[in-house]
Structure 1
Amino acid sequence: MSSQTSPSSIRAPIRIGSSLSTACRNKAIAGVRAAAFWAAVILPLAYVPAAYGAMGFETWSALALIAVHMACVVVGHEHGTSSNDIPSTHA
């Protein structure tokens, strides 16, 4: 009898850890995309006070608002387009 372990039993925890970290990363990315998408939907409501200089908005802060909005649009544009999220219409 040999006390050697098989290579598959040594690699199993690595595979489990790798798949777990991939799943966590995918969930985190989906959460960031969802938050960015909804922020991109809501942020235009802040344009009206920014246009009138209300609530302490200045020129630089209005430009920052537009930059943040554009960043949210870019990051959130793929929210909900994953093939796992779209229900199949085939029976």
Structure 2
Amino acid sequence: MSSQTSPSSIWAPIQIGSSLSTACLNKALAAVRGAAFWAAVVLPLAYVPAAYGAMGFETWSPLALIAVHMACVVIGHEHNSSNNDTPSHA
């Protein structure tokens, strides 16, 4: 009696690498989205010093700050703090 494994149940190294790289990419994107989300939350605190030229802000800095803030809003808008991968602690 010989036990044979069906070809569909054996993962080729390329399939393992592909699924691993997809998982790493998804984790990296989630981290970037999370960082952008929280940066978008915190960046408005810098508007007042930038408006008054305090803390070394130059004349172009308020506009750059607004541009960075908008970029963070766009990138981080899909951030979901409750990941499906982690179990919830209710």
TM-score by length of 1: 0.77
1:26-45 maps to which residues of 2 (within 5 A)?
26-45=26-45
Q: Deviations over 1:34-87 (max 9, x none)?
A: 0000000000000010111101112211111100000000000000078836x8
Partner of 1:3: none
Amino acid at match of 2:50: A
Q: CA RMSD in A?
A: 2.6
Following superposition, the deviation at residue 12 of structure 1 comes to 1.0
Q: Which residue of structure 1 aligns with residue 68 of structure 2? A: 68
Structure 1 residue runs without a partner (length 5+): 1-6
Give the whole-Å Cα distance in 1 for the aligned partners of 2:9 and 2:19: 16
- How many residue pairs match? The answer is 82
Q: What is the alpha-carbon distance in structure 1 between the residues aligned to residue 63 and residue 48 of structure 2?
A: 13
Q: Percent identity?
A: 85
Kindly report which structure 2 residues correspond to 1:15-54, keeping only aligned pairs within 5 A, or say none. Answer: 15-54=15-54
Question: Could you list the runs of 5+ residues in structure 2 that have no partner in the other structure?
Answer: 1-6
TM-score, length of structure 2 as denominator length: 0.78
Alpha-carbon offset, residue 32 of structure 1: 0.2
Partner of 1:56: 56
Aligned residue for 2:12, secondary structure, equals helix
Q: Which has the higher helix share?
A: 1
Name the amino acid aligned to 1:69.
H
Aligned to 1:80: 80
